[in-house]
Amino acid sequence: MSFGDWLRNFFSQKRNPQLEALESFARDRKGVEGYIEPRTATQPTTLLLVDRVGDSARAPVREPQDGAAFCERLGIPVYDAQVIGYPQRMVDFESGRKPDPEALDKTFEDLERRFSEPDKDTPNN
């Protein structure tokens, strides 16, 4: 990160305490992804964070690049909401269909176990 990027990031955070709340959201949850929402006639450009169960938090950012830099700094994948859309888990969560986090943990553990096992159908070369 260049000094200019660092300086811009420093002042962006100072002028936007809501990003501190997003940082806390991202650090306290699993499977967080970022979505840059474009500026509209009534809303500023915002950064939306969505966790693995669909809970979300958002905050305004000056420029889309500020939201992308924030996500990059925290190691969060970031998408353009105007291009990608919103994740189905967020839609489900907001409509009251909330998944069981423990069931998600078991599903992910099973997937990790299956991916770590050697494939019996693939010959060793």
CB 46 within 8 A of CB 37: yes
Q: Classify 3 in phi/psi space as left (phi over 0), alpha (psi -120 to 50) or beta.
A: alpha
Separation between Cα atoms, residue 70 and residue 95, nearest integer Å: 28
Is 91 within the bounds of a domain? yes
The yes-or-no verdict on residue 19 having pLDDT over 90 is: no
Judge whether 124 lies within some domain.
no
The answer to whether residue 110 sits within a structural domain is yes
65-118 pLDDT, tens per residue? 999 999 999 999 999 999 999 998 898 888 887 777 777 777 777 877 888 887
Is residue 122 situated within a structural domain? no
Q: Is 51 exposed, middle or buried (0-12, 13-18, 19+ CB in 10 A)?
A: buried
Q: Is position 125 within any domain? A: no
* Bigger pLDDT: 39 vs 3: 39
How many structural domains compose the chain? 1
For the segment 9-23, the average pLDDT, to the nearest whole number, is 69
Output the pLDDT for position 81: 95
Residue range(s) defining the domain that contains residue 47 = 3-116
18 vs 36, more confident: 36
